[in-house]
Amino acid sequence: MTEHRITLLPRQGRDAAPPARVRDGERLTIKVLRYNPADPASVPHLQRYELEQSPGMTLFIALNEIRDRLDPSLQFDFVCRAGICGSCAMVINGRPTLACRTLTRDVGPEIVLAPLPVFELIGDLSVDTGKWMRAQSERLAAWVHLREDEPDLTRLEQRMEPELAERIFELDRCIECGCCVAACGTARMRADFVGAVGINKVARFRLDPRDTRDDAAFYELVGDDDGVFGCMSLLACHDVCPKDLPLQTQIAYVRRKMAAQGFGG
């Protein structure tokens, strides 16, 4: 059975917890890259905010404190505060990760924040990952393709081996935060690149015995430079994924399968 690890604060991605860099009561400086594309007068600039480090403070808490006390115009996103919704992803000191899972004491005393690249900027730290993810899911037809045109609602559930269900669940843990895309050199260069998140989806549906698509059908979706052959295998995606998805293994696996298709295998 696959072991599911729960990532606990202050751990970030696969890194071990670093020693605290700021003590409670010490000063934090947060610099935010600000820009509002909807305002013709807006010019990108770094804005500086000063806060006091408090016990257990996350960047989510710090940003809310800034918005509540210092600057109500600051834009950023969050929903769950628990590493589940993926909406608080941003670039923190150069690394794409989740604000709600980042302790300020581990990344301070000076913290530089920028919005995720690649995605459409809404304003300041807020980007539209949903639009990108939806377009990509439609392109990859990221749903189980059943044999029948019309599902038979009276039929009993199909049984699945628990081990296989666990393997599928492992890949389904993606929260579509966009960190892997933001860290990806190919995604910066190719607007249509599916990214690790897309390749992971192909791996997930390929595993699912209810999905009737074969490798030739998946090759049509990702058998080119905007798909798995555009990946440079430098694995920044794997390093930054906050859910510790096995992206390295999945990219290698899908590439092997698609290469075999390309050579008539």
CA angle (116 as vertex; 43, 14 as ends), nearest 5: 145
Nearer to ligand FES, 86 or 115 (CB): 86
Nearer to ligand SF4, 108 or 223 (CB): 223
Residue-wise DSSP of 245-264: --HHHHHHHHHHHHHHHHTT
| 98 is an interface residue for ligand SF4 by CB under 6 A | no
Using the Cα atoms of residue 76, residue 105, residue 240 and residue 143 in order, give the sign of their dihedral: negative
Q: How far is CA 194 from CA 41, 122, 217, 245, in A?
A: 34, 22, 16, 16
Q: Between 46 and 189, whose beta carbon lies closer to ligand SF4? A: 189
98 contributes a contact to ligand FES by CB under 6 A: yes
Q: For the packed helices 162-172 and 195-207, what is the interaxial angle rounded to 10 degrees?
A: 160
CA distances (Å), origin 15, targets 10, 240, 250: 10, 9, 20
Q: Is 198 in the site for ligand SF4 (CB under 6 A)?
A: no
Residue 206 phi, psi dihedral angles, 5° rounding: -65, -35
- Binds 100, which of ligand SF4, ligand FES, none (CB < 5 to 8 A, cut-off by type)? ligand FES
Residue 62 within binding range of ligand FES, rule CB under 6 A: no
Helix, coil or strand: residue 225:
coil
Query: Of residues 22, 57, 90, 100, which one binds ligand FES by CB under 6 A?
Result: 100
Q: Please tell me whether residue 80 binds ligand FES under the rule CB under 6 A.
A: yes
Amino acid at site 194: V
Mark the segment that binds ligand FES (CB under 6 A) among 11-19, 73-81, 128-136, 225-233.
73-81
Among 17, 46, 70, 79, contact with ligand FES (rule: CB under 6 A): 79
Residue span binding ligand FES (CB under 6 A) among the ranges 76-84, 146-154, 224-232, 233-241: 76-84
- Is 11 a residue that touches ligand FES (CB under 6 A)? no
Task: Figure out which of the listed residues 87, 97, 102, 104 binds ligand FES, where binding follows CB under 6 A.
Answer: 87
Q: What residue ranges bind ligand FES (CB under 6 A)?
A: 78-81, 83-88, 98, 100
